[in-house]
């Protein structure tokens, strides 16, 4: 059986400080330093944190009722100090509403637990950030 645990993304430069990331399924995402409305890498990281948790919470709550609204704001403070550039005070705020009725009541009842499960165990992105996983950097020799 093939190893399905590895994840990968390829990146190519499309212009000065502009790039396209491509996943193994052929999906592409353009980003850069923030010119012309493009997402920056930091914004993509905040998006990944919110998106990962959104999917977890959506799986759990939508089994009971489809949300009427489902919005998440993710914020952080970018700082520069002796350790270099990094983010502090990352905060994820959910705004989710469900319709009136028994199904909506069930979804509302599981929402806090779904958010906690995502944060504490399920969301690979936020778990990786919080646990501080080391990153190996290499340069391939140009031959």
* Residues 27 and 44 placed together within one structural domain of the fold: no
85/108 Cα distance (integer angstroms): 38
Specify the residue for token string 């995502």.
118
Q: Is the same domain home to 90 and 113?
A: yes
Model pTM? 0.90
- Beta sheet of 28-32, edge-to-edge order: 9-15, 18-23, 28-32
How many structural domains are present in the chain? Answer: 2
CATH number, domain containing residue 78: 3.30.300.20
96-115 pLDDT tens trace: 999 999 999 999 999 999 99
Owning domain of residue 116: 40-131
The pLDDT of residue 1 is: 55
Q: Are residues 56 and 79 in the same domain?
A: yes
Beta bridge partners of 96: 70
Q: How far apart are CA 55 and CA 33, in angstroms?
A: 27
User: Over the stretch 26-59, which tens digit does the pLDDT of each residue have?
Assistant: 999 999 999 888 999 999 999 999 999 999 999 9
Scan for tokens 């950097």, then name that residue. Answer: 137
State whether 28 and 50 are in the same domain. Answer: no
Instruction: Classify 34 in phi/psi space as left (phi over 0), alpha (psi -120 to 50) or beta.
Output: left
Dist. CA 117–CA 127, nearest whole Å: 11
């Amino acid at each position: 059986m093939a190893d399905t645990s590895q994840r990968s993304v390829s990146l190519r430069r499309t212009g000065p400080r502009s790039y396209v990331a491509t996943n193994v399924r052929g999906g592409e995402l353009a980003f850069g330093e923030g010119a012309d409305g493009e997402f920056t890498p930091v914004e993509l990281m905040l998006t990944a944190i919110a998106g990962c948790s959104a999917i977890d919470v959506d799986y759990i709550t939508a089994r009971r009722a489809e949300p009427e609204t489902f919005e998440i704001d993710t914020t952080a403070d970018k700082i520069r100090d002796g350790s270099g550039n990094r983010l502090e005070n990352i905060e994820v705020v959910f705004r989710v509403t469900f319709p009136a009725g028994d199904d909506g009541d069930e979804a509302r009842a599981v929402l806090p637990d779904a958010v906690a499960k995502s944060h504490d165990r399920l969301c690979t992105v936020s778990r990786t950030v919080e646990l501080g996983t080391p990153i190996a950097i290499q340069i391939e020799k140009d031959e």
